[in-house]
Amino acid sequence: MNAVEPASESVSLRAEIRLLATLLVVFAAIKIAGSSLGYLSAIVSAGGTDTDGSRTLFWLPQVLFYTVLLASAIRLRRFEPRGRTSVVSLCWLSLAASLVYTMLDFTVGPGHERPALAIAIKLRLLAGGDAWDLVFPLLAIVWLRRPQVARLFAT
């Protein structure tokens, strides 16, 4: 009976990780599409060229980041040990970047001059879908840092 329990636990854990990896693949693909459309619209609004990069600088790192997250989530789905490590690292990076961006907005950005408006905008963005930028990284960190998952990826 004890031999069956760890095997069934391993099967359910693998299914859980596959589900998480699939969610992350879909999330990253949607973010790549959105960032790419943002980049293209910035280029179009600049008349086809952006020589100083001021309109497109925001979008290119996002396209790159979510492309790397997509590749890492695919590796996670294949249960490659580095896939787990890279997904957790990228999720921490995503959360840190969100925190730094928000802090900069309220210290030197528009939120510094009008904090009530900046808070209202942040809440509107979170309600409109930006909450997923926090939910998926937190979910991945919580699920992938468990000892059972670490043992599964170590074998």
CB 111 within 8 A of CB 118: yes
Task: Using the predicted structure, report yes or no on whether residue 17 has a pLDDT greater than 50.
Answer: yes
How is the chain split into domains, by residue range?
4-154
**pLDDT attached to residue 5:** 52
Rounded percentage of the chain residues whose pLDDT exceeds 70:
96
Crossing angle for the helix pair 4-45 and 147-154, nearest 10 degrees?
Answer: 90
For the question of whether the overall pTM of this predicted structure is more than 0.75, the answer is yes
Dihedral, CA of residue 109, residue 111, residue 117 and residue 118, to nearest 10 = 90
Which amino acid would we find at residue 33? A
pLDDT of 78-130, one tens digit each?
999 899 999 999 999 999 999 998 898 888 888 888 888 888 888 888 888 88
149 — pLDDT class (breaks 50, 70, 90): very high
